Amino acid sequence: MSIDPRVHVTLDHLRGLEGAARGLSFLPQQPSRSVLNGRHASRLRGRGLNFEEIRNYLPGDDIRSIDWKVTARTGEPHVRVFTEERDRPALLVVDQRMSMFFGSRLNMKSVTAAEAATLAGFRILSGGDRVGSIVFDEEELVALRPQRSRRALYATLENIARFNGRLEAGRQVQRRLGSFNRVLDAVTRLVTHDHLIVLLSDCEGIDDASQPRLAALSAHNDVVIALVHDPMARQLEPRGRVVVSDGRLQVEVDLDRGATHEALVSFSSGRLQRVLDWQNQIQLSVLPLSAGEATAPQLRRMMGRLAVPRGR
């Protein structure tokens, strides 16, 4: 039986995204039309700088690097020399719960999250940084510490494909590991500081206790929420009966019923707006990522392209 790539991902498909990851940027400089500009301004720190030495000023040195105290004390111009940090570990947090198993136009949200995580992983690894992951659903959470290893990244892709493959409309969740906040707690246990944390989720289950957890993480790390949503969350017009399918099973929903329409709009759009509002209150960046569009072009449009591959 062939697998519909809009419904489920395979390990081969994820591995094949490596080429599409080239040119993606996780640096703070964004194109003028980027979703990270303006209201969605990027708060990514990029790489930091380590102090290396103070030495005599040489022709061509940036005058902004002059150490005026040392210069005054010695009577000769001196500059402070910094080197760029060469390592900032990244953690991909990938949601594969049943709430992600929905799509009205192109992909299931779970597929979009899986593809975006893969693209980010390949891009970060190619920049010389370590990549780790947390892949989770209602029943299981698997964590891998950041490593600078293709084999380790492939292990992450295997976990994503495995979790994604068991999503189906008739699935009965046997046990629940708790709220969305348990995932944030797991992230807190795994990272220390100066990490890039990329959370790919529809954020179903967030509550008032989620915000302080995210604020604590973003105080010492760069936190990016790739907020995966379906076009229906933005615009859900009454249009009679629609059929929703997972590729095998189908269910009919009557959008003309006032109670049904109102409940769906409130449920989907309210959560999106809540997360978008948080970036104005705490130090994080939100990338609204639509399951109704191809994943790679969206990331390229929002994150920008590197003219010369360097850094991240």
Domain ranges of the chain: 11-45+88-303, 49-84
Placement of tokens 């498909």 in the chain: 13
Confidence (pTM): 0.75
How does pLDDT run along the chain (312 residues), one tens digit per residue?
A: 688 999 999 999 999 999 999 877 765 444 434 433 333 344 556 555 556 678 888 887 888 889 999 999 999 999 887 755 557 899 999 999 999 998 888 999 999 999 999 999 999 999 889 999 999 999 999 999 999 999 999 999 999 999 999 999 877 776 677 789 999 999 999 998 889 999 999 998 898 899 999 999 998 898 999 999 998 765 544 455 554 444 445 455 555 555 544 545 554 566 777 888 887 788 788 888 999 999 999 988 877 543 333 334
> Looking at residue 256, what is its pLDDT?
53
Query: Which CATH code is given to the segment(s) 11-45+88-303?
Result: 3.40.50.410
Q: Which two tokens stand for residue 254?
A: 């009557």
Q: Could you count the other beta carbons within 10 Å of the beta carbon of residue 199?
A: 27
The three-point CA angle 251-252-258 to 5° equals 135
pLDDT value of position 181: 94
Task: Please tell me the distance from the alpha carbon of residue 255 to that of residue 260, in angstroms, as a whole number.
Answer: 6
- The pLDDT, as a whole number, for residue 274 is 80
pLDDT (0 to 100) of residue 259: 54
Integer CA distances (angstroms), 80 to 16, 46, 64, 300, in order: 45, 20, 9, 36
- Report DSSP state, residue 23: T
Greatest C-alpha distance within the chain: 82
Q: What's the rounded Cα separation, in Å, for the pair 269 and 230?
A: 10
Q: What is the pLDDT of residue 286?
A: 87
